[in-house]
Amino acid sequence: MSKTTQLIQADRGQDAVAIHLVTKDSFSDFAKALPAGQRAALSGQKFDGSAFQTAIVSDGDGWFAVGGIADPEDLGSYCLAKLAEVLPGGTYRLASGEPMAAMHGWVTAQHTFDRYKKAENDTGPRILLSKQARHIDAALAEAEAVNLVCDLVNTPAEDMGPAALEAEAERLAKTHQAQISVTKGDRLEQEYPMIHAVGRAAARHHAPRLIQLEWGDPSHPRVAIIGKGVTFDSGGLDVKSAVGMKLMKKDMGGAAHALALAGLIMHAGLKLRLHLLVPAVENAIAGNAFRPGDVLATRKGLTVEIGNTDAEGRLVLGDALTRASEDNPELMIDFATLTGAARVALGPDLPALMTRRDETADALIAAGRAHDDEPWRLPLPDEYREWLNSDIADLNNAHANPYAGASVAGLFLDRFVGDGIDWAHFDTFAWRPFAKPGRQKGGAAYGLRAAFHMLAARYSGA
């Protein structure tokens, strides 16, 4: 049994430390009911019921915990996360009510990326009990998917190259009896010329490839999930600054989201035919790197002039979106760490969402809002399509003016999505600059839960 699967357990009356949840408004009444010594203990810890405050109070031979939250009747994903971070190892139950949504943050709060550095002073797992046993498996799977995104993104590029993304896809395929195929080498150059061009300058052990996974009953509606897998982005010959390159191990964050979402879909047994596509490349610098001014062929037959080699993510996605469209899926969703413009507009915590259909945007936003993972919709304005014009090719991959960078990148992708296909694009940061309860600094999942719960509502078969 993994550590994660132990963190939420069915409540069968076993011994556990009680957690009392209070608000700033209700704390006074709660404290009045306590003996003077316990009130003094809370006062000594400067506890007043504010959100994310925690305290431990002696109770005869034992003790209980107190946590400050906004509303005990409506727990969000991270209401109990601070408790899970700071309490001693042991088994806990809420003194009143059930954790429900807060199970998510209880698990993610205890996750650490320890591949290269072991945690210090580990007090052991904090186990939370719940009488809602039927919800535990789904909550654990969702938290594990979020943790997977964090781990993949946090891993340095040398250890998380295209082959490592392929290995993760193989692990998923083996776990869920899915079919996997990988295209690389000469065949990649012939069939997916933009993926090959972006990745061809990398070292041999980081050779570019297109990873595909298929799962589910072929008679079910086909859904394609695509993730940008640029495992490191130097900027190519339009090389980034040192500051700009520092976090570029996270440029495969879209692939991490797509892999995690595929795992959730298969674990939940959604009634769909899954097609996962990950174009995996390193945008490196060498004598054979693609150049500014080059014109690339594409799988779709369009030609693309390279205005900037640092706008490479849209190139590899273009070939993958074309391949996904060839099977005419009912829905396509892609994830990509695509533009700095999206971060300027929305900051790190809100993934930019672009869709062709209003109802798809509405469903994704509603699912995200309900699960503390709300995206923010940006437009795909027809008026800006001309900014992708080229004098010598069908498209230019980088428009010359500084405006609407996220939307124009989305419009570039839109050219490679088949006519009439319902398509959603997440421009996600995949990185948390500052820690919050239940959400550590570093690799982060944004839009993953929104997409999964939208798909679960549409394809659960209920």
Residues of the chain with pLDDT under 50: 1
| Coil, strand or helix at 6 | helix
Residue 1 confidence (pLDDT): 41
Q: How far apart are CA 65 and CA 92, in angstroms?
A: 9
Which residues on neighbouring strands pair with residue 93, listed in sequence order?
18
270 exposed, middle or buried (CB, 10 Å; 0-12, 13-18, 19+)?
buried
- Work out the angle at residue 147's Cα, subtended by the Cα atoms of residues 317 and 100, and round it to the nearest 5 degrees: 120
Catalytic residue among 314, 323, 415, 449: 314
Q: How far apart are CA 59 and CA 329, in angstroms?
A: 60
| DSSP character string of 19-45 | EEEE-TTTHHHHHHTS-HHHHHHHHHT
Which residues on neighbouring strands pair with residue 396, listed in sequence order?
305
Residue 122 confidence (pLDDT): 77
Convert 146-158 to b/e letters by CB count within 10 Å (16 or more is b).
Answer: bbbbbbbbbbebe
Single-letter residue type at 445: A
Our answer to whether residue 323 is catalytic in this structure is no
CB 315 within 8 A of CB 305: no
Edge-to-edge strand ranges of the sheet holding 17-22: 8-10, 126-130, 90-94, 17-22, 62-68, 54-59
Express each pLDDT in 281-320 by its tens digit: 999 999 999 999 999 999 999 999 999 999 999 999 999 9
Our answer to whether residue 314 is catalytic in this structure is yes
Residue 49 confidence (pLDDT): 94
Q: How far apart are CA 228 and CA 208, in angstroms?
A: 12
In 3D, which of 171, 290, 305, 187 has the Cα closest to residue 234? 290
Residue 51 confidence (pLDDT): 93
- Work out the angle at residue 405's Cα, subtended by the Cα atoms of residues 403 and 408, and round it to the nearest 5 degrees: 105
List helix spans (H) across 192-312: 193-199, 242-245, 253-268
Q: How far apart are CA 386 and CA 390, in angstroms?
A: 9
Catalytic residue among 24, 39, 131, 240: 240
Q: 372: which residues sit within 8 A by CB, 6+ positions away?
A: 76, 77, 78, 101, 104, 449
Query: Which residue shows structure tokens 């005419």?
Result: 328
Residue 2 confidence (pLDDT): 57
Q: How far apart are CA 223 and CA 209, in angstroms?
A: 21
